[in-house]
Each structure stands twice: as structure tokens, then as C-alpha cells.
Chains A and B, each alone.
Chain A
């Protein structure tokens, strides 16, 4: 066990729990405080929170290892794509969604397409996809604990689980936002300082990339099939554009303008983070590992840290990696719990429930979802990364077209949305399980199918009621009031 590193991680964990307790009373007041952080979060806080939410444990450690061993371009495409997705979300979704006043994506879709089947299907799809995604984050926490702190896999997993579950349960979105903000700052600080140190150690970027290219000539090239890069980039643009846990941040902004600027800010921060982690730290890690690739590719970054830093900085790096894991896990957890509590139980079965009771139910649901995730995490599937990426693709193929059409097309109807949801999700499942297609290419077939289903289904059915159409137009009015 590494005492100094462990102490720093413990201090960090206590700080996160303290934030959860600090927001306890405010979060439990109403459903809006619990799920939307009182819709009073500023641009800077939201932008850093977005960075922390999007960049998971993989973003801090795994991606640097992948960049060092597979070349810079592959993983840069994923990172920059997910950042760009935020920017596209700012252009296409942020303002109208914030003006709609919906706390979650399911709530918005239900508001725009008042149909019982849609109201039930959407949160179920979100809850399933996010449970899988959460298991992947938990697995990462066990691995990091094992390698960085020298503790047992299951122990690291349980401790990480307990910390983020407690602060999400008691502090709701307020705690998630402020812990994400601090976690984002810590991640950025560690990444920038480590990058500067690496550049100084190796004598600048030119010297570093030349050395890395000598060890691995394809370091900066696009040497894999084109679809691996372009597909990866655009898949992540769409995932970034339509991810319920990211779009939930829109409802926390003070106003529609702030929501859009926060997403753009998140995109800028992710680009800076990518330049540091992929272009500088991956290259530096390759310089350290040399010609032969280690069995554990994730450890490439750790070798670099061993070479250029002392135990104190190693501890801070470990805390930053846990920060990346916990912030993403917290965002996913609150979105999955909201899908079940706010969108199914309250939205469909108990619409008259008191606000305070809704907040309490939300808290309970956070625990229930998190506990289920913990049970799965002790024995996670081997290809969990592939599984969660595919789960997110399924989510995008099912729900992105109904969301965008609901926001931008007056003629979109319930029938069209249901047709798009079934055709998008169904075709994705058929292509994924029934055909041998290149990885991640299913989305490029399923999204056009969903679009056609949306158009045909809407044109063949009666237009939405005039009240709903008026509401859609009001979301696009020039007023900046929420």
C-alpha cells in the first residue's frame, strides 16, 4: 500500500463527501432542487462540470495508454468528437430545451409527444444504457485502486461506490454539479502541470514526437481503416450531442444563453484537455515505454508519472483519476435514477406526488440504482468498454431523432416519434446482433432509418395539437427568459 498517495486520495474523498452534506438541506426541498440544482448554476462551473462528466476514468488514464500504443489520431478522434458533440448540443438543443423547463430528456419528450408508450420506453432505454455505462466506470475504479494505490480491486470498487453514491443521494444535482466542478478543475490542473513537466523533461514537443516516432513510426499517422477514425469521431459527436446525463446540465443553467455558452465552454475545455492528454502525455508515455508495448496498456501513463514525478504528485494524479471516474459515475447515476423516479414513477404513476416527497424518492432511487450497479460490478463482462459504447449508440439511435424533430419540426407527431424510436433502436439491434459490420458503423444506417420513420410517421398522422405547436414555437422565441 502506498501511504502518501492513499492519504491524498482520502483527503479528496472526504472533501467530496463534505460537499454532499453541505447541500443536503437545499437538495431535499423540491424535485427541482434535487434534479436541476435549482437551475442556478453559472457558466464557468457548468463548463468544468461538463469536462468532468464527459471525460471519464478512461479519459484520464486509458486514453493516454491507447494514444501511446495505438497512435494519437485514434483516441484524439473520440475525445475531440465528444467535445464537438457538446458544441453541436449548444447549437441544436441547449436554448430550446432550457426554455422548455424540462428537468430531464424523458420529461421533455413526454411534454412534446404526450404518448404513454413513449413516456415509458424512453426512461427504460436510458436506465438500461446507463446501468451498463456505470458498471464500466466501477470496473475502472477497481483497476485504478489496484494499480495506483495498491489496494484490492473489490475494496477500491466498494469505497469509490460508497463515496459517490452518498454524495449523489444526499446532495442531488447540486452536489453532483459542485463536485464535478472541483473534479474538473483538479483534472485540468493535473493534466496541464503534468504536460508542462513532460515537455520540459523531454525538451519540447518536437523532440518528444521525434523520439516517439522513432520507437513507433505510426505514432502520428492514421494507419487503421478510415472508418475507425471518422466513425469514432462522428459517433462521439452524436453521443456528445445526445446524452441525457450531459443534457441534464442544460436544466441546471441560469438561462438559455448560459446553457448554450456552458456547452461551448465545455467543448473548449475538452479540446485543451485532449491536447494535453493525447498529444503531449501519450507521446511522452511512448517515449518512456520505448519500442515494446506493455501488456497493460493503461499503465503507460503510470510509467511516465514514475519517471518524472515524486509520490506527492503521484497521489494528486491518483486523486485526479478517481475524480474523473466519480464525476462521470455521479452524472450517469443521477440521470439513471431520474429516468426511473422522475420519469416513470412520478411522471406516469404518481403525477400528484408532493415536491418534497419527489426529492426523497429521488434520493432513494439513487441508492437502488447504484446498489444494482455495484452487484454487477463485482463480476463485470470482459468487453465492458465495447458494451457501454454500444449501449450509448443504441440510446442515440433510439432517441436522438425524436429529440431533434421535437425541438425543430412543428409537424413532428407522437406517431412519428414512436416510429423513429422503434425503427432506430430496432434496426440498431438487428444490425449489431445479426450482421457483421465494421465497429460503430451501425449508427450510420440506423439514424437515417429513424429519420425516415419520423418523417413518414408524422406525415401519415394528424398534426400535433395547436397548444403543443405554440409551445414548440415559444421555445425558439428570441426571449432569453427561461
Chain B
């Protein structure tokens, strides 16, 4: 395997590109957590607790699970490509 394949992609402004799965997790996390503080969301109650709290709990539980799965899958892909 050539070195180029293992080295990261770099944008013209010098920023190193993130893995797509990591970028998705980052964007989803910040967008949903900001939406959770919108008035219509935070003032809605479910079981006497604000929807904001429920959303933050689900978000902080699901984002790492998604990331762990994505990390394992990418590790599997890498192992396969090394095997080939």
C-alpha cells in the first residue's frame, strides 16, 4: 500500500479533512442540541419534563453509540483492505 493512501486529505486552506462519519456526528450533535433550546421545543412538556431534557438525553446516548459502530465498521474496512 502506498503512503498516499494512508495520509489524510488536506483542503486548499490547509484544513485536514475529517472522516465523513465523524463530521456527520459533529453536525448532528450541534444542530439538534441547538434546536433543543428553541422556545417551541423547550416549552413542550412530556411527562412533566421539558422536551429539551429528553432530547439532550437521547442525543448524548445515541451519538456515541453511532460513533462506536462507525469506528468499528471503518476498522473492519481497513482490515479487509490490508487483507486484499
List residues of chain A with CB under 8 Å of any chain B CB: 72-73, 76-77, 80, 83-84, 87-88, 90-92, 205-206, 209-210, 213, 219-222, 226, 229-230, 233-234, 257, 260-261, 264-265, 267-268, 270-272, 274-275, 279, 408-412, 472-474, 476-480
Contacts and interface: CB of A to CB of B under 8 A. Distances in A.
B6 to A, nearest CB: 5
A409 B29 CA distance: 22
Contacts of A274: 57, 60
Contact of B48 (A77, A210, A412): A210
B73 interface: no
Contact of B52 (A73, A213, A479): A73
Contacts, number: 129
A87 B14 contact: no
A80 B55 CA distance: 11
B37 A226 contact: yes
Nearest to B34: A230
A92 B27 CA distance: 12
A340 to B, nearest CB: 32
A44 to B, nearest CB: 12
Interface string B38-79: 000011010111101100110111011101100100010010
8 contacts: A73-B53, A84-B59, A91-B25, A222-B43, A222-B52, A260-B67, A260-B71, A473-B8
B33 to A, nearest CB: 7
Contact of B13 (A226, A279, A411, A479): A411
Given A275-B57, A410-B10, A72 B67 contact: no
B31 interface: no
A77 B25 CA distance: 19
Given A90-B67, A257-B71, A220 B45 contact: yes
A480 B78 contact: yes
Interface of B: 5-8, 10, 13-16, 18, 22, 25-26, 29, 33, 37, 42-43, 45, 47-50, 52-53, 56-57, 59-61, 63-65, 67-68, 71, 75, 78
B6 A478 contact: yes
Interface of chain B, helix or strand or loop or mixed? Answer: helix
B47 A205 contact: yes
Contact of B6 (A234, A260, A479): A479
B5 A478 contact: yes
A265 B69 CA distance: 12
B50 A221 contact: yes
B6 A477 contact: yes
Contacts of A272: 61
Contacts of A88: 26, 29
A477 B7 contact: yes
Contacts of B47: 205-206, 209, 220
A94 to B, nearest CB: 10
B63 A87 contact: yes
Given A213-B48, A220-B53, A264-B71, 8 more contacts: A84-B59, A233-B37, A234-B33, A257-B75, A265-B68, A477-B7, A477-B8, A478-B8
A234 B30 CA distance: 9
B31 to A, nearest CB: 13
B37 A84 contact: no
